[in-house]
Amino acid sequence: MKQAERIKVGEIQLNVLDSGPRDGLPLLFLHGFPDFHYGWRKQLAAFEERRYRVIAPDQRGYNLSDKPKGIAAYQLDTLGRDLLALLDALGLKQVVVIGHDWGGATAWWLAHHHPERVKGLVMLNMPHPDVFAQYLRKHRSQLLKSWYMLFFQLPGLPEFLLSRGKWMHFAQSIQSGARRGAFTQQDMEKYVKAWSEPGAFKGMLNWYRAALRKPPKPFPKTAVKPPTLMVWGAQDRFLEAGLAQPSIERCQQGRLILLPRAGHWVHHDEVEQVNGLIQDFLQMLEGKLSLDAIQLNTKAAADKQKPKPPKPKLSPEEDIEISDQELGEWKTQ
C-alpha cells in the first residue's frame, strides 16, 4: 500500500492515502474524531486487495493536513467543500463514500448537496445531522452523553487537560470505548503522534466549536438520493441507537444493520462483519445483490457472543480530573 502524501485541495493541502488500481471503483474513507486516515487501515488493506481504489484523507485540522486558524475555517460547509475539491484534484467524478463519526457528517453533506458525486453511501455510527439536532432536544439521556461537546467549547482547557501525561488518560478513554484488543499499544502510539502534531488537537476540536458557533446552512428537506447502508454499533457510549432508524429514514434507498455487541468504534470492534457488509453493499451497487439482501453474518456474530471480562471504563470525572496546581499552570499559559 502506498504512503499518504499531501495534495493541494482548494486553498489548503490535505494528507491523503490513495492506493490501489487506478481503474478500480474508488472508495473514499472519511475518519472522525479523534482519528486520522490510519483508523481505516483494516478496511483499506482489505479492499485494496479486492482491487478497489482506496482513498483516505486526514481531514482538515488533523495529523499532517493543513490546520487553518480560526473556528470559522471548520464550518461544515467548508469541510464538505474540501471533499469536492479533493475529488476534483484526483479527477474523480463519483465515489463510494464510507464515513464514521465526524467523517459521517461530511459524508452526509456531500450526499445531500452533491448526490451526483456519490455512487453509494456507507455510514458508521453517525446520525443524520438534522436527526441528531432534533433528538437532542427530546432526549435528555443523549444530551448527557454529549456533555463533552460543551466541554470542548472552552478555550484552551480541553487541549491542556487531554494532552496531560503524554495523552495517557485520553488514549485510555478511546481504548475503553472499544472492544478489548481493538487498539494495540502500537496503534495508540501512532494516534498520540498524530494528536501531537503542531496545531492538530486545536484543529480537531474546532470541528466541535464551529458546529455550535458557526452552524451550517440547513440541509435540504429532500431525501438522500444515493443508496445508503448504515451500520450501527449498538453499544456506542456517545450516540444512542435510537438515532439510527430516523436517520436511515431520510434516505430514498436505505438499509440499517445493527451490530449488537459493537460500540462507537464499530469498524475496529467488528472488522470482518463491517468489511463483509461493505463488500455486500458494493456488490449491490454493481447489480449483483439487492439492498434488502444485505444482512449480518449471523454465524460470525454468534462466534463473538462468548462472554469477556469487563473493560475498565473512565468516568467523565476521571477523564477531566485536575489538581489545583495543574489548574494554576493552565491559567498561566
Query: What does the pLDDT read at residue 304?
Result: 52
Query: What does the pLDDT read at residue 138?
Result: 95
Q: Could you say which of 18, 35, 58, 101 is catalytic?
A: 101
Report the side by side order of strands in the sheet with 228-233: 5-9, 12-19, 53-57, 26-30, 95-100, 118-124, 228-233, 254-259
Query: What does the pLDDT read at residue 51?
Result: 98
Total number of residues shown for the chain: 333
3-state DSSP assignment of residue 239: coil
Query: What does the pLDDT read at residue 319?
Result: 41
Q: For 57-81, how does the pLDDT look when each residue is reduced to its tens digit (9 = 90+)?
A: 999 999 999 999 999 999 999 999 9
Residue pointed to by grid coordinates 499518504: 4
Q: Which amino acid is at 200?
A: A
Catalytic residue list contains 62 = no
**Distance (Å, rounded) from C-alpha 300 to C-alpha 145?**
30
Q: Which letter does DSSP use for residue 307 in this model?
A: -
Residues 6+ apart with CB under 8 A from 28: 55, 56, 83, 86, 87, 95, 96, 97, 98
**Distance (Å, rounded) from C-alpha 111 to C-alpha 225?**
7
Q: Please return the burial class of 150, using the count of CB atoms within 10 Å of its CB with bins 0-12, 13-18 and 19+.
A: exposed
Catalytic residue list contains 35 = no
Ranges under pLDDT 50 in the chain: 305-333
Query: What does the pLDDT read at residue 216?
Result: 85
Q: Could you say which of 52, 66, 208, 268 is catalytic?
A: 208
Q: In whole angstroms, how far apart are CA 119 and each of 94, 97, 116, 127?
A: 6, 8, 7, 20
Query: What does the pLDDT read at residue 85?
Result: 98
Q: Which amino acid is at 16?
A: V
**Distance (Å, rounded) from C-alpha 296 to C-alpha 287?**
19
Catalytic residue list contains 169 = no
At the topology level, CATH places domain 5-331 in Rossmann fold (3.40.50)
Q: What is the longest distance spanned by two Cα atoms in the chain?
A: 63
Domain ranges for the chain? 5-331
3-state DSSP assignment of residue 52: coil
Q: In whole angstroms, how far apart are CA 48 and each of 16, 19, 42, 114, 118?
A: 15, 7, 10, 26, 19
**Distance (Å, rounded) from C-alpha 325 to C-alpha 64?**
33
Query: What does the pLDDT read at residue 167?
Result: 96
Average pLDDT, the chain: 91
Q: Are 193 and 87 in contact (CB under 8 A)?
A: no
Q: Could you say which of 100, 112, 128, 264 is catalytic?
A: 264
Cell output for 320: 477531566
Q: Helix 164-176 crosses helix 185-195 at what angle (to 10 degrees)?
A: 130
- Going by C-alpha positions, the residue among 100, 25, 38, 43 that lies closest to residue 65 is 38
